[in-house]
Structure 1
């Protein structure tokens, strides 16, 4: 049975979603994930204050492209009126849905009353969500965590109350805010919410899915409608392709060859330059090289070159060298 968000977004039988990640899930990164089969993506999270004040960095994050659909714009904030304004601005950018971030645990978000900090004030979360829903014709979805800390795991109440005011899907990261990204994600509460007879919207699980085995086991064990993958896709967009192939056939794909790694790295670089310009595109790509070639022995010398070179031609030469030197190996 197909998973649907609202009336018009059909994600197929068991969708894989790309988690919104600050400084990662920009259009160049989303392009390579889309090529590898991800079903639904989101922008990086965007500050509502930045949008209503017309900050260039926030506005730039609204860039979305036709081939990315379905795609959601994710916003966060601590003031209800700012979120209302940001929703109107985001809706004009033409996404398929608006997603609200009630999960970000980092200090400069959560300690300013946004992101996961709303888990400490569910009444305000409900009022904010209602304001967002009223400000757009698009479906509204939410991403959150289990609770603020171990003594206040309240995502079950969050799920019911937000569904009651009209959200169309809920993604849950299986940690509290206090855990940040430490320890192991606990999906048992996510399963309980999915099994709650009152809940009828799609529930997506997030946290620690980093392999075909885990995706297959947790799909069965936790009965979610789909899986959202974040950190495991950084430098490894093939994770979507591998999981989907296994679900469809029961067979495992070989990991990417060096040639595939180089090609995806090249594509990412090209898209980065197209979107950000030469200087910034080359600079921001530097954080990705070691991820694309993780696990390759004796790679340090090439990484050092890649993170210091200034022109696309020089970088392409080094990528060609990498391909020639390592092409007989599959990592």
Structure 2
């Protein structure tokens, strides 16, 4: 099922969430290759981005390499966020996304992310400034509110629509919940009822049935998947297939999974360099191995390795017996 954001029509209504430290370039490219409607960049601090751009006079990894993609910006100063939006438009972004959902302490301490939902007047100023700065469609990701006493997402959604925002994503928790408890998919329906623009629901989608249930209960137009993709970059394509056909696709067999892991690992090292890449890859390798026999020992071992060749050898030693066991 397609999903339309202003003039941009996506081939699927299943979107990859922006996740700091996870949805980087190697992961986004892998998920896109396996099948997804849209990938969204990690959150970019608008002020830091502008400083870097002014210093170097250019931005690396043009967005056109991943077209169509959305770039998510964060901040609390309308003029700065508008300038950041222009920079990303020049880089080839198809969509600008505004972060009003991040619950991280260091973000809300700077009065950005989900903290902005406490100031609806400032929300309107930021949205109007960004929408007015670019010809691209602008979207908004937010939570249900700051806490249980101020679940004002419906009001913010109306402000967003009036400001020219073309699509919404709502994570079904308040900021103070962080990631505790269950996402409230039914409350997302109240946000959907408040506006006429497209809306994706987000939160706690770890099975294909979850995605279908969220869309039904939230009356959502699509679904955004975040943590459910950890160690499963193929999961979004499974969700898309299920929503289209009602058929559940199996996970790739272990041999195919190992090939995907090698591809991802190589891309991480190429993108970040060996030293940083080794550190960044560890969490992904842990997620990939989760639930497999001997995975705890594998994770302990991979954490101490500092040579890429040793990591490759460990992966082969871990997966080969499992693959042979399944084939026997």
TM-score (structure 2 length as normaliser)? 0.93
* C-alpha distance in 2 between matches for 1:158 and 1:310: 48
1:253 to 249, 256, 272: 249
2:182 to 181, 184, 187: 184
* C-alpha distance in 2 between matches for 1:106 and 1:135: 27
Query: In angstroms, what is the RMSD of aligned CA positions?
Result: 2.2
1:26/1:193 CA distance change after superposition, 3 Å: same
The equivalent of 1:293 in structure 2 is 289
In the comparison of the two structures, how many residue pairs are matched? 325
Query: Contact 2:53–2:59 at 8 Å: present in 1 too?
Result: no
Q: Tell me the secondary structure at the aligned position of residue 54 of structure 1.
A: helix
Report the CA distance between 1:277 and its aligned residue. Answer: 1.6
Report the CA distance between 1:80 and its aligned residue. Answer: 2.0
* C-alpha distance in 2 between matches for 1:315 and 1:258: 17
Which stretches in structure 2 are left out of the alignment for 5+ residues?
none
The equivalent of 1:3 in structure 2 is 3
Report the CA distance between 1:315 and its aligned residue. Answer: 1.8
1:55/1:138 CA distance change after superposition, 3 Å: closer
Which stretches in structure 1 are left out of the alignment for 5+ residues?
none
1:188/1:64 CA distance change after superposition, 3 Å: farther
1:139 to 117, 123, 137: 137
The equivalent of 1:88 in structure 2 is 86
The equivalent of 1:161 in structure 2 is 159
Report the CA distance between 1:278 and its aligned residue. Answer: 1.9
* Higher mean C-alpha displacement, 162-171 vs 295-304: 295-304
* Higher mean C-alpha displacement, 82-91 vs 47-56: 47-56
Query: Contact 2:201–2:215 at 8 Å: present in 1 too?
Result: no
The equivalent of 1:308 in structure 2 is 304
Report the CA distance between 1:67 and its aligned residue. Answer: 5.7
Query: Contact 1:46–1:61 at 8 Å: present in 2 too?
Result: no
Q: Tell me the secondary structure at the aligned position of residue 221 of structure 1.
A: helix
Runs of 4+ in 1 over 6 A off after TM superposition: 58-62
Q: Structure 1 residue 227 and structure 2 residue 226: aligned? A: no
* C-alpha distance in 2 between matches for 1:41 and 1:185: 22
The equivalent of 1:63 in structure 2 is 61
Report the CA distance between 1:329 and its aligned residue. Answer: 5.4
* Higher mean C-alpha displacement, 76-85 vs 92-101: 76-85
1:182-223 CA distances to partner (integer Å, 9 max, x unpaired)? Answer: 111002222123234xx2211010011110111122222322
* C-alpha distance in 2 between matches for 1:61 and 1:237: 27
User: Higher helix share goes to which structure?
Assistant: 2
Query: Contact 1:129–1:162 at 8 Å: present in 2 too?
Result: yes
Query: Contact 2:157–2:191 at 8 Å: present in 1 too?
Result: yes
1:243 to 239, 244, 265: 239
* C-alpha distance in 1 between matches for 2:277 and 2:156: 39
1:127 to 112, 125, 128: 125
Report the CA distance between 1:103 and its aligned residue. Answer: 0.6
TM-score (structure 1 length as normaliser)? 0.92
Query: Contact 1:146–1:172 at 8 Å: present in 2 too?
Result: yes
* C-alpha distance in 1 between matches for 2:182 and 2:313: 41
1:276 to 272, 275, 288: 272
Q: Tell me the secondary structure at the aligned position of residue 255 of structure 1.
A: coil
Report the CA distance between 1:169 and its aligned residue. Answer: 0.4
1:328/1:191 CA distance change after superposition, 3 Å: farther
